[in-house]
Structure 1
Amino acid sequence: MKFLTTLALCALVATAHAADPEYPKQGPDLYDTQADGTAQIAAALTQAKAEHKHVLLKLGANWCIWCRRLSEAFHRHDAVAQKLAADYVVVLIDMNQRDGRKRNLAVNERYGNPIQNGYPVLLVLDADGNLLTTQETGALEDGGKGHDPEKILAFLRRWAPAR
């Protein structure tokens, strides 16, 4: 009985530890540090094809304040959130490099090194997986400490699937 109690306690500690954010001072993780970006994209393409949408890839890292600000803009502004829901399958792909390991390096290589100019970067794919555009997100900023919802909407409208 003691063994089972100890085993259960160890499992609880391991589960709690796995849920800890990668950078606790930044808050909860946005990006799944364990996810395979190639598999995430494949699943998103299947969904996009079924729903007649495009795929919006947001490449970044959990430590990136601008990644967090862009995600906040995606959720905080109703028009942006509605446009995303209507026309895109959104996928956040962790591109962090930590402990000598570059996460999801194959995704970066597949799309021509979009992270070369920093995080976050947006990629739009059609439902067949063809890259339509790459957008560095500095162009979507508001000149202050966030992103301009009108600039985001203009970008989303431009690359939305034809209906």
Structure 2
Amino acid sequence: MKKLLFLIITLIFGLSSFAQSQTEGVKIYNPSANAQADIDAAVVKAKKENKHVFVQVGGNWCVWCIRFHNLVEETPELKNYLNANFETVLVNYSPENKNEAVLKKLKNPGRFGFPVFLILDGNGEVIHIQNSAYLEEGKGHSVKLITNFLKNWTYKAVNPAATK
């Protein structure tokens, strides 16, 4: 019985350290960034370029946030589409900085878990909040589902008169 208990405890510690090592040292999100200033700058730029703002809320502690970021970085067609149609902002949510005031202003998107994605218009208004779980297929995020989601929220898709 003692051997079984020892084995179970060892397994639990091993799995928890493995999960930590997957995100340890990753610095995609900046806990000390001024999220509101970053959003405001992206909104100004997006409005000038007839784009929307894609906000990714998450933290360096979140393995799914890191995986999503890596998927975008490693998939040129997805990265290019995102950059061509959106200004992107990463908003940190972590024990160091929960960005509570900013997230409250953004209609509390954390209720959907992390990462969570928001689309803001050229006035900084939230026009969509996306639970990222709906963009998963199999064992991770789907490039096809993400691309389809993004296509539905471009400036041109939301403002069809802009294409005339």
TM-score (norm. length: structure 2): 0.78
The total of aligned residue pairs comes to 137
2:26 and 2:95 map into 1 onto residues whose CA distance is 18
1:27 and 1:148 map into 2 onto residues whose CA distance is 25
1:93-108 residue pairs with structure 2 within 5 A? 93-98=91-96, 102-108=97-103
Q: Which consecutive unaligned segments of at least 5 residues does structure 2 have?
A: 1-19, 157-162
**Structure-2 residue corresponding to 1:160:** 154
Runs of 4+ in 1 over 6 A off after TM superposition: none
Q: 1:45 touches 1:129 (CA, 8 Å); kept in 2? A: yes
Deviation at 1:142, TM superposition (A): 2.0
Q: 1:38 touches 1:107 (CA, 8 Å); kept in 2? A: yes
Deviation at 1:103, TM superposition (A): 2.5
> Does residue 1:114 correspond to 2:109, yes or no?
yes
Q: Which consecutive unaligned segments of at least 5 residues does structure 1 have?
A: 1-22
> Does residue 1:148 correspond to 2:146, yes or no?
no
2:35 and 2:101 map into 1 onto residues whose CA distance is 8
The Cα offsets for residues 40-91 of structure 1, whole Å up to 9 and x where unpaired, read as: 1101111111221100000001110000111112111122111101100010
Say which SS state the counterpart of residue 134 (structure 1) adopts. Answer: strand
Q: Tell me how large the CA RMSD over aligned residues is.
A: 1.5
1:67-146 residue pairs with structure 2 within 5 A? 67-98=65-96, 102-144=97-139, 146=140
Instruction: Decide which of 47, 50, 56 is 2:54's aligned counterpart.
Output: 56
**Structure-2 residue corresponding to 1:38:** 36
TM-score (norm. length: structure 1): 0.79
1:45 and 1:123 map into 2 onto residues whose CA distance is 13
Say which SS state the counterpart of residue 87 (structure 2) adopts. Answer: strand
Say which SS state the counterpart of residue 97 (structure 1) adopts. Answer: coil
Q: 1:38 touches 1:106 (CA, 8 Å); kept in 2? A: no
